[in-house]
Amino acid sequence: MGEVTMLEAIREALFEEFERDPAVVALGEDIGVFGGAFKATEGLLAKFGPERVIDTPISETAIVGAACGMSYLGLRPVVEMQFIDFIACCFNQVTNFAAKSHYRWGAPVPMVIRGPSGGGVHGGPFHSANPEMYFVHTPGLKVVYPSTAYDAKGLLKSAIRDNNPVLFFEHKFLYRRIKEELPDAEYTVPIGKAAVRREGRDLTILSYAAAAHTSLEAAQVLAKEGTEVEVIDLRTLLPLDRETIIESVKKTNKVLVVHEDTRTGGIAGEIAAVLCEDAFGYLDGPVARVTALDTPVPYAPPLEQRFLPSVEKVAAAARELAKY
C-alpha cells in the first residue's frame, strides 16, 4: 500500500469498522450522497446503503440526540459535525445525556462524534475552532485529537469500539498535508496513551494535533543550536497520559506545552497543575506555554498567522526555558 493522507486514513477506518461490525452506523449533514464536506465518508453510502449511512437535517442537537437513542438500542453511531465548531449547538446532548447516561442509569453510549477542527486554512471564527477543553472538563467523555494518518486510523477504530462516548477531533489543516504508509494488517491505537515523537535530554515539548508538527519543526531548529528537545504528542486529552508526561519531565526537567487552543483554560494549565502536584521536585524551571491568543480565530491570513503558534514562537520560548 502506498502513502495515504490523514483524510484517507479516516475513511479507511470507517470502511473497516462498517465491514467488521453491522451495528456501526453514520449520521451527519451531507455525509451520504455528497460524501461529507471534506469527503471523509465518500463511498460509504454506495457500499452500505441509506439504513447505515444517514443524511440528516441541519440540526446538530437532533443528530446527537438520535445517536444517543441509537446507542441505547445496541447500535454504534458515528456522528459527523460538518465543522466541529457546530458541536456547540448540541452541547446539552453531549454533556448532559451522552456523558452521563452510563453513570446515571448504567446505559453505555458507544458513540463517536468526529469532525474537522482547527485553523490555518483561513476559515474564520465559525469554521476554525478548537473546542476540546469544553469536553475535557466533562466526566464520562473521552477526547481524542491525533496528528498523524496512522494514529487517526488506529484511534478512530478504537473510538468506534469503545463503549463510552468519544469526541474525535480531526485537524483540517492536516487532512491532505500529512501522508504516511499504513500497515496492510489491521491495527488499533490505544486511547489514553501519548507518543514520544522525538527523544531529547534538555527539555520536553508537549503538544498535539497540528501544533505537534510545529513543535517537531522547532525541535529541529533547536537541535542545530545544540539543544535536544523531546517532543511528546499527547494524542488523547481525556484521559491524559500522565505517566508518559512525568517520565519525560524526570529526564529533561523542563516543560513547554504547545497547543492551538486559546491560552486561558487550555490543556497547558491542567498539565502545569499536574506537574506541580506530581513532579515539582523534578522541575528546573517554570512550566512554559505557547498557545493561540485569547481571541476568536481571525479570518484575515496575516491576523490568523499572528494568532496561531508558530515554529518561531515555539523555538523562542524553548530558548528562554533552556536558560534556567
pLDDT per position as a tens digit, 204-250: 999 999 999 999 999 999 999 999 999 999 999 999 999 999 999 99
Residue 308: pLDDT above 80?
Answer: yes
Is 3-181 a CATH 3.40.50.1110 domain? Answer: no
User: Looking up cell 437513542, which residue turns up?
Assistant: 69
Residue 295: pLDDT above 70?
Answer: yes
3-state SS, residue 256: strand
Closest CA to 249 of 265, 272, 269, 226: 272
Distance CA 113, CA 27 (A): 10
What residues have CB less than 8 Å from 237, skipping those under 6 apart? 132, 133, 136, 143, 144, 145, 208, 267
Distance CA 68, CA 101 (A): 9
Of 127, 171, 213, 259, which is the active-site residue? 127
Which band of pLDDT confidence, cut at 50, 70 and 90, is reported for residue 2?
confident
Which band of pLDDT confidence, cut at 50, 70 and 90, is reported for residue 19?
very high
Every domain of the chain and the residues it spans: 3-181, 195-322
pLDDT digits (tens, 9 = 90+) for 63-110: 999 999 999 999 999 999 999 999 999 999 999 999 999 999 999 999
User: Looking up cell 481524542, which residue turns up?
Assistant: 144
Give, in degrees to the nearest 5, the angle at Cα 283 between 229 and 308: 50
Distance CA 303, CA 235 (A): 28
Question: Would you state the pLDDT for residue 150?
Answer: 98
Residues 16-46 as b or e (16 or more Cβ within 10 Å = b): bbbeeeebbbbbbbebbeebbbbebbbebbe
3-state SS, residue 38: coil
Residue 171: pLDDT above 70?
Answer: yes
pTM above 0.85, yes or no: yes
Three cell numbers, residue 94: 453531549
Q: Could you confirm whether 127 is annotated as catalytic?
A: yes
Domains 3-181 and 195-322 agree in fold: yes
Select 195-322's CATH number: 3.40.720.10, 3.10.640.10, 3.40.50.920, 1.10.3210.10.
Answer: 3.40.50.920
Residue 1: pLDDT above 80?
Answer: no
Q: What percent of the chain has pLDDT above 70?
A: 100
How many residues in the chain?
A: 324
